[in-house]
A and B are shown apart, each in its own frame.
Chain A
Amino acid sequence: MILCKYTKLDRAVYLGHLDVLKMFGMAIRRTAIPVAYSMGFNKHILLYMSQPLSLGLASECEYFCIDSPCDPDEFAEKMNSSLPEGIRLTKAFFVQKNPNIAGLMCAADYTAEFADRNYDPDDILKITEKPAIEMEIVSKGVKKIKDIKPLIYDISIENNFLKFCLACGNSNLKADRFISYITETTGIRFSGFITKKHLYTAVNGKLTDIDDYLGK
């Protein structure tokens, strides 16, 4: 199997999960790369994608796994000549089996750009110093107050970007929801896309980049 890491940037942030799947399928047919198909009536390409990304979020660390006899570098090169704006394969390597990224992941790094420079960094840092950070969330139509503090692993400011690391996976905090919470409570505005930068798994209680964990 080949595991591919890809970006979803610029206009491609608006493509839905299934649309991305279809888009990869069309790219594969264009390039005529040999891949495994499902059996049965409605034959389709066997392509396994990582967790759906919220619409409107950019990412530099999405993954999919595919069964192909093609050399991984060649696979990436051919695919990259046939993908729309914003979608690029940045890594491709052999794996014995589908590593089930969704099951491995536990945290992700994000960045968001400040809309202007009229903000006080302390306003944000003060939030994290509170003993509990109560945010209203709507789950299955019911409003609840939840303490999100345990889901925030890190937060810092660098070159007009807010960088933050949130839990993702079984316990999860949505990056777009977190950013709107900051805007709601501090009035600080952001522009551009929130970008997911790295995906982590836990190794002996330490956050380790999925790529490092898989040895690539």
Chain B
Amino acid sequence: MREDIKQILSQVEKPARYAGGEFNSLPVKPSAAIKFLLCFPDVYEVAMSNLGIKILYEILNRNEDISCEMCYAPWPDMAKLLKDNDISLFGLSSQTSMRDFDIVGFSMQYEMSYTNMLYMLDLGNIPLLRKERSEKDPIIIAGGPCCINPFPLVDFVDIFCIGDGEYNDEKLCMLLKQAKTSGMSRADFLKMASDIEGIYVPEIENYVKRAVVPLEEAVFPTKVQIPNVEAVHNRAMLELFRGCSRGCRFCQAGMIYRPVRNRTVETLTKYALDLVKNNGFEEISLSSLSTCDYPDLKQLLTAIKPELDKRGVHISLPSTRVDSFEAQYAEDSRLSSITFAPEAGTQRLRDVINKNVTEEDIFNSMKFAFEKGYSSVKLYFMIGLPTETEEDLAGIVDIASRIKKLYRECAVSKKQLSITISTSTLVPKPFTPFQWERQISLAEIEQRQTYLKTELKKIGVKYKWHDGLTSRLETALARGDSKLGKVILSAYENGAIFDSWDEFFDFEKWQNAFDKFNIVIDEYTSEIPVDANLPWDKIDVGIDKEFLKREREKAYAKVLTQDCRKICNDCGIRVAYPEIYSEFCKKRVDR
């Protein structure tokens, strides 16, 4: 352990965040050709709950030529100590400084972590602007869902991985190894990297097509680093499949991970059992976009349940269809709350967004849960959906009061019912049918929240809402172009860090940054003409823009689109990825 690091760890809060040595950490390979620092731009406990970086950590370290270690955003107390003592941010296993790695990779999961990427680079003493980096600086790469529209970050990132990351980080490492041995320049390396499918290099501005990985053969980590400090979600994670067949029109994940790719039940059974043996979590979460859609869920649960029971591990399943057979498996003795996401308050609006959930579904699920003894309900809705009126908001209140009535009629628990309603504001995201929609104004957001606050209070229902300013910023960053790079940098210079944390988020810092360059946020949040060129048109995710337009028209006409398991809706995958299409879409539809 480095003595200088030891000195500051004795002064910092929760030093275990920075100590490394987690159980199941993979050995550092000091003589590996490529040293990779995998970064997650949020605090340890949040980062440790993310599955994506665990997958990459495993894949990269399996390669003899690569030594990969982790790094997370230090809490501000640690950042201050690092600066005061002139210590650069370091990899947690070997305590090597960030700038001594060959590649520094960032996982970008949410827009509000953009400034934290700069914060980490800064603490690592790496020039923030890619144009200012020299031959000896590490290559900065970024991946994850936010990079589907990389343009707001093009000033800072050398290479983007668009789409599934399973193969591309490793490919980049191998290419860099080759480049290093042959003495290739940084510029030539970047040029070569841009030829890899799924890689976007801002310097080259190359055409890029999203990387899509057939999941079954891809590596999945069943031995994961056990956090020193308890993670936000301290559980084993099993990804059953990637993609979602439901086609909700507001959902970016449901579009950009198409098509649905299932793992086989045999493989998943093995992974699940290995996960509980190797890690010791109390809970295993079957996590996918719409987990209950997994066709062999029953078979999987039957196969893993005995061993899990023996070890006292319970299964967490999103309870979207609690009346289903599967739910019985997910029950635990604690009868914690049941969550449901109708997203909109009336059937009309649910049809607009293609959320195939009926009132009957909601109330059947609730009835089932109450008869089982549940006494706590959490419901998630969105506000600001296209065509939304006061009637739709009233619908939310109505659902809540009818659930209360249902509870009086059929509850078996003696406890008082607790209902919590949470709303988020629609953030119209790239590559969704709503990508052209305006986001409702701050005044409208607040007015609709006030309505719900008042009405829900009357019937004694708890209400939680997302901060409107955050939602506006999220839209600007999600739909942003390369002009926003200087705004992000300036916000960071104004002191914006940990923007996803209420206690840190300070909109002023952002507002000043926008003002400095005479850019108005409304430019990014208002409606975009459907024939306009979009910044992200340059990224080919394999989804046909015409399909998105059709879906938008259907939204306004309140016409539903069927689940991809029933028919193919011709979203563009068939043309863009013929092999993937016949392997995953065609087979499923033909069944």
Residues of A within 8 A of B (CB): 10-16, 19, 22-23, 25-30, 32, 37, 41-43, 55-56, 82-86, 191-193
Contacts and interface: CB of A to CB of B under 8 A. Distances in A.
Given A56-B9, A83-B23, A11 B312 contact: no
B280 A28 contact: yes
Contact of B312 (A23, A37, A55, A82): A37
Contact of B310 (A25, A32, A55, A83): A32
Interface string B277-306: 111111000000000000000000000000
A13 B21 CA distance: 11
Contacts of B311: 29, 32
26 contacts: A11-B1, A11-B19, A11-B20, A11-B21, A12-B19, A15-B16, A15-B19, A16-B14, A16-B16, A19-B16, A23-B226, A25-B280, A26-B279, A26-B280, A27-B23, A29-B280, A29-B311, A30-B279, A37-B312, A42-B334, A43-B333, A84-B23, A84-B226, A85-B21, A191-B3, A193-B6
A15 B228 contact: yes
B128 to A, nearest CB: 30
A43 B283 CA distance: 13
Contacts of A23: 23, 226
Contact of A29 (B18, B230, B313, B333): B313
A193 B277 CA distance: 34
Contact of A30 (B20, B229, B277, B310): B277
B21 A26 contact: no
Given A30-B279, A84-B21, A16 B229 contact: yes
Nearest to A176: B10
Contacts of A37: 312
B15 A14 contact: yes
Contacts of B388: none
B6 to A, nearest CB: 8
Contacts of A19: 16, 228-230
Interface of B: 1, 3, 6, 9-10, 14-16, 18-23, 226, 228-230, 276-282, 310-313, 333-334
Nearest to A87: B23
Nearest to B13: A55
B21 A30 contact: no
A112 to B, nearest CB: 13
A10 B21 contact: yes
Contact of B9 (A10, A14, A29, A191): A14
A19 B22 CA distance: 12
Nearest to A56: B10
Given A43-B312, A55-B15, A86-B21, 5 more contacts: A26-B280, A26-B281, A29-B276, A41-B334, A56-B15
A12 B21 contact: yes
A25 to B, nearest CB: 7
Contact of A14 (B23, B228, B278): B228
Given A19-B16, A26-B280, A32-B310, A10 B230 contact: no
A27 B280 contact: yes
Contacts of B228: 14-15, 19
Contacts of A12: 19, 21
Nearest to A191: B3
B312 A30 contact: no
A32 B278 CA distance: 11
A26 B226 contact: yes
A16 B13 CA distance: 11
Contacts of A83: 23
B562 to A, nearest CB: 43
A10 B1 CA distance: 8
B279 A14 contact: no
A190 B280 CA distance: 38
A67 to B, nearest CB: 15
Contact of B333 (A11, A28, A41, A191): A41
Contacts of A29: 276, 280-282, 311-313
A143 to B, nearest CB: 20
Contacts of A41: 333-334
A184 to B, nearest CB: 15
B22 A14 contact: no
Contacts of B282: 25, 29
Contacts of A56: 9-10, 15
B271 to A, nearest CB: 16
Contacts of A85: 21
A79 to B, nearest CB: 12
Contacts of B279: 26, 30
Nearest to A43: B312
A83 B333 CA distance: 29
A86 B20 CA distance: 12
Contacts of B276: 29
Contacts of B229: 16, 19
A85 B24 CA distance: 10
Given A23-B23, A23-B226, A85-B21, A14 B16 contact: yes
Contacts of A25: 280, 282
A176 to B, nearest CB: 8
A137 B333 CA distance: 48
Nearest to A16: B16
Nearest to A45: B312
Contacts of B21: 10-12, 84-86
Contacts of B20: 11
Contacts of B18: 14
A190 B230 CA distance: 31
Nearest to B276: A29
A64 B10 CA distance: 25
A32 B20 CA distance: 26
